[in-house]
Amino acid sequence: MLRRNADKPSERLERALEGGPIPHDADTRRALAAAGALAPGHVRSPARIQQTEDAMMAAFMRTLNPLESRDDAGTGDGLEETELYRTVIELPDGGEIIISDIEEITPDLLEESAELAAEILAHRSRDHLS
C-alpha cells in the first residue's frame, strides 16, 4: 500500500502530461512547469523541411549539369529584326544628346528632349555655382 501512495504523484504527472486534468498539488505543478520549460517552443513542419531540401537539391543539380549553350541562340526570337531609330541633337552648350527609340523619332519628340536636356543642364550649372 505504501508503494501505491509513492507512485501517485508520478501517475498524476503522467496523466497531466497526456492531456488529462491538471492536478492541484504543488509538486506536480512544479514538475509540469519544468516539463513545459524543456518542451520546444515551435515544431518544424515536415512539408517545409522537404520543400527546402528539394530546392537545395534542384540548385545543386543545376550547378552540376548546366544547360548547354546553343550556337544559334538568339536567332529567330525577333529581336534582330527590330529597327532602331537614332538621332543626334546638338545642345546649345556644345554638347550632344543621342536619342534612340524603337519607334520613329518625330520632330516634336526631338524638340521636347532638347528642352528637357537644356533644363537639366541649367539646373546642374546653378547647383555648381551655389
Q: Does residue 66 contact residue 83 with C-beta atoms inside 8 Å?
A: no
Rounded CA gap, 124 and 2, in Å?
A: 96
The reply to whether 71 falls in a domain is: no
Q: Which domain holds residue 15?
A: 8-33
On whether residue 69 sits in a domain, the answer given is no
Q: What angle do CA 85, 91, 92 make, to 5 degrees?
A: 160
Q: Is residue 94 part of a domain?
A: yes
59-90 pLDDT, tens digit each: 999 889 888 877 777 666 665 667 788 988 77
Q: Is residue 55 part of a domain?
A: no
Cell output for 98: 543621342
Per-residue pLDDT of the chain (130 residues; tens, 9 = 90+): 444 454 576 777 777 777 777 777 787 778 778 877 777 777 788 899 899 999 999 999 988 988 887 777 766 666 566 778 898 877 667 778 788 888 888 888 888 887 887 788 788 777 666 5
Whether residue 89 lies inside any domain: the answer is: yes
* Beta bridge mates, 100: 86
Q: How many domains does the chain have?
A: 2
115 occurs within a structural domain: yes
Q: Is pTM, for the whole model, over 0.75?
A: no
